[in-house]
Amino acid sequence: MTEQRFSPLRLLVAAIRPIDPILFGLLAVLLGYAFVLMHSASPERIASLLVNAGVALAAMWLAARLSPQRLLSLALPLYAAGVLLLIAVDLFGETSKGATRWLDIGITRIQPSEIMKIAMPLMLAWYFQQREGHIRLREFVVAGALLAVPVALILVQPDLGTSLLVAAAGFYVIFFAGLSWKLIVPVALVGIVGIGAIVGFGDQLCQPGVDWQVLRDYQKHRVCTLLDPTQDPLGRGFHIIQSTIAIGSGGVLGKGWTEGTQTHLAFLPERHTDFIFSVLAEEFGLLGALVLLASYLLLLLRGFVIAAQAPSLATRLLAGSITMIFFTYAFVNMGMVSGILPVVGVPLPFISYGGTALVTLCLGIGILMSIQRSRTLAKS
Amino acid sequence: MTEFRTPEEELGRFRRRVLVAGIVALVCFGLLAARFYYLQVVRHEYFHTRAEDNRIGLVPIVPTRGAILDRNGVTLARNFAAYTLEITPSQVADLDETIDALSEIVTIDARDRRRFRKLLEESRNFESVPIRTRLDDAEVARFVARRYRFPGVEVQARLFRDYPHGEVASHVIGYIGRINLRDQDRIEERGDTANYRGSDHIGKSGLELSYEAQLHGVTGVEQVEVNAGGRAVRVMSRTPATSGSDLELTLDIELQKVAEAAFGDRRGALVAIDPRTGGVLALASKPTFDPNLFVDGISTADWNELNDSPDHPLLNRAIFSAYPPGSTFKPFMALAALTTGKRTANQAIADPGYFSFAGHRFMDDKVGGHGTVDLHKSIVVSCNTYYYQLANDLGIEGIAGFMAPLGFGSRTGIDIPGEAEGVLPSPAWKRSRFKKPEQQRWYGGETISVGIGQGYNAYTPVQLANALATIVNGGKVFRPHVVRHVIDTASGERRAIQPEPIRQLAIKPAHLAAVRQAMVDVNKSGTGARAFTGAPYSAGGKTGTAQVYSLKGSKYVAGRVTERLRDHSWFIAYAPADNPTIALAVLVENGGFGAQSAAPIARQVIDYHLLGARLDAPAREDAEAADTEADPHAEHDAEPSP
H, E, C per residue of B44-92? HHHHHHHHHHHHEEEEEECCCCCCEECCCCCEEEEEEEEEEEEECHHHC
Reported confidence tier of residue B622, pLDDT bands at 50, 70, 90: very low
Say yes or no: B28 contacts chain A, CB-CB below 8 A.
yes
A266 CB near a chain B CB, below 8 Å?
Answer: yes
Exposure letters A310-333 (e unless 16+ CB within 10 A, then b) = bebbbbbbbbbbbbbbbbbbbbbb
Cβ of A338 under 8 Å from any chain B Cβ? Answer: yes
Preceding peptide of A8 cis, ω within 30°: no
A171 reaches B (C-beta below 8 A):
no
- End-to-end alpha carbon distance in chain A: 18
On chain B, the residues whose CB falls within 8 A of the CB of A340 are 31-32, 35
Summarize the annotated binding site of B as residue ranges. Answer: 351, 364, 370, 383
B490 touches chain A (CB under 8 A): no
The Cα–Cα gap between A317 and B428 comes to 109
pLDDT of residue A155: 79
Q: Does A350 touch chain B (CB under 8 A)?
A: no
Contact B33 A296 (CB under 8 A): no
**CA–CA dist B106, B138 (Å, integer):** 9
pLDDT at B552 over 90: no
Interface of B with A in 50-89 (CB under 8 A): 50-52, 54-55
B40 contacts on A by Cβ (under 8 Å): 247-248, 250-252, 281, 285-286, 289
Quickly state the pLDDT bin for A279 (edges 50, 70, 90): very high
Query: Which candidate, B628, B587, B620, B597, places its Cα nearest to that of B286?
Result: B587
Q: In this prediction, what percent of chain B has a pLDDT beyond 90? A: 42
Please name the member of A172, A180, A285 whose beta carbon is closest to the beta carbon of B1.
A180
Residue A266: inside a domain = yes
Q: Which of A265, A300, A368 is the best substitution to test chain B (most B C-beta atoms within 10 A)?
A: A265
pLDDT of amino acid B253: 93
Q: Which residue of A has its CA nearest to B21?
A: A324
How many domains, chain A? 1
Mean pLDDT of A128-138: 86
Q: Is residue A200 part of a domain?
A: no
More confident residue, B38 or B626: B38
Say which DSSP state B268 is in: E
Among B238, B159, B463, B40, which residue's Cα sits nearest to residue A289? B40
Q: What is the pLDDT of residue B207?
A: 94
Return residue ranges of chain B for CATH 3.90.1310.10. 58-249
What was the pLDDT predicted at B557?
47
| Candidate from A137, A261, A340 with C-beta closest to B51 | A261
Q: How far is A178 from chain B (nearest CA, A)?
A: 7
Res B624: pLDDT: 38
> Which pLDDT band, with edges at 50, 70 and 90, does B123 fall under?
low
Interface residue B21 vs chain A (CB under 8 A):
yes
Q: Of A137, A244, A267, which has the smallest distance from its Cβ to B39's Cβ?
A: A244
Using the predicted structure, report yes or no on whether residue B553 has a pLDDT greater than 90.
no
Residue B271: other Cβ atoms inside 10 A: 32
A188–chain B Cβ distance below 8 A for any pair: no
Q: Give the integer Cα–Cα distance in Å for A97 and A40.
A: 26
Asked if the structure places residue A237 within a domain, the reply is yes
Please confirm, yes or no, whether B327 is among the known catalytic residues.
yes
pLDDT band at B619 (very low <50, low <70, confident <90, very high): very low
Listed in order, the ranges of chain B carrying CATH 3.40.710.10 are 253-307+320-629
The reported pLDDT for the residue numbered B231 is: 65
| DSSP character string of B525-590 | TSTTTTTTTT-SS--EEEEEEE-----TTS---TTTHHHHHSPEEEEEEEESSSS-SEEEEEEETT
Distance CA(A255)–CA(A183), nearest Å, equals 48
B516 burial class (0-12, 13-18, 19+ CB within 10 angstroms)? buried
- What is the rounded distance in angstroms from the CA atom of residue B23 to the CA atom of residue B21? 5
Cβ atoms within 10 Å of B549's Cβ, excluding its own: 10
pLDDT at A59: 93
Q: A8 in a domain, yes or no?
A: no
Name every chain A residue with its beta carbon within 8 A of the beta carbon of B18.
176, 304, 307-308, 320
Mean pLDDT of chain B: 84
What amino acid occupies position A148?
A: A
Burial A198-217 (b: 16+ CB within 10 A, else e): beeeeeebbeeeeeeeeeee
Query: Do B484 and B277 form a contact (C-beta atoms < 8 A)?
Result: no
Report whether A158 contacts A164 (CB < 8 A): no
Percent of chain B with pLDDT over 70: 89
pLDDT(B400) > 50? yes
What is d(CA B195, CA B220) in angstroms, rounded to the nearest whole number? 8
pLDDT of residue B628: 35
Answer whether B246's CB lies under 8 Å from B483's CB. Answer: no
The answer for B 583-642 residues in CB contact with A (under 8 A) is none
φ, ψ (nearest 5 deg) of residue A158: -100, 140
Calculate how close chain B gets to A352, using CA atoms only, in Å. Answer: 18
Q: Which CATH number describes the domain made up of B253-307+320-629?
A: 3.40.710.10
Q: Is the residue at A212 inside a domain?
A: no
Is the separation of the CB atoms in B235 and B224 below 8 Å? Answer: yes
Q: What is the pLDDT of residues B130-156, one digit of tens each?
A: 888 888 888 888 888 888 888 888 888
Read off the amino acid at residue A66. Answer: L
By CB neighbour count within 10 A (0-12 exposed, 13-18 middle, 19+ buried), where does A350 fall? buried
Shortest Cα–Cα distance, B124 to chain A (Å): 18
The predicted structure's pLDDT at residue B469: 95
DSSP assignment string, A259-310: --HHHHTT-STTTTTTTHHHHHHHHHHHHHHHHHHHHHHHHHHHHHHHHHT-
pLDDT (tens digit, 9 = 90+) per residue, B265-321? 899 999 999 999 999 999 999 999 999 988 877 878 888 888 888 888 999 999 999
Closest by CA position to A313, among listed A181, A176, A184: A176
In B, minimum Cα distance to A182 occurs at B1
Q: How does pLDDT run across A172-192, given as a tens digit for each residue?
A: 999 999 888 888 888 778 877
In a domain, A46, yes or no: yes
Report how far residue B132's alpha carbon sits from residue B604's, in angstroms, rounded to the nearest whole number. 44
Residues B445-489 have pLDDT tens digits of: 889 889 998 888 999 999 999 999 999 999 999 999 999 999 998
State the pLDDT confidence band at A228, using cuts at 50, 70 and 90.
low
Contact with chain A for residue B16, Cβ under 8 A:
no
The pLDDT of B346-354, averaged and rounded, is: 88
Q: Minimal Cα–Cα distance from A214 to chain B, Å?
A: 27
> Is residue B217 within 8 Å of B64, Cβ to Cβ?
yes
Q: What is the pLDDT of residues A75-105, one digit of tens each?
A: 999 999 999 988 888 787 666 555 556 666 5
Instruction: Give the domain B58-249 fold.
Output: Penicillin-binding protein 2a (Domain 2) (3.90.1310)
Mean pLDDT of chain A: 83
pLDDT surpasses 80 at B617: no
Per the structure, the complete domain to which residue A297 belongs is given by 21-65+229-380
What pLDDT, on a 0 to 100 scale, did the predictor assign at position B122?
Answer: 67
Give the lowest-confidence range in A46-55, B49-58, B527-536, B617-626.
Answer: B617-626
First to last CA, chain B: 127
* Model pLDDT, residue B134: 83
Question: Which residue from A313, A316, A331 is facing B28, i.e. has the nearest CB?
Answer: A331
In this prediction, what percent of chain A has a pLDDT beyond 90?
44
- Residues of chain A positioned with their CB less than 8 A from the CB of B226: 265
Contact A126, A367 (CB under 8 A): no
| Single-letter amino acid, residue B618 | P
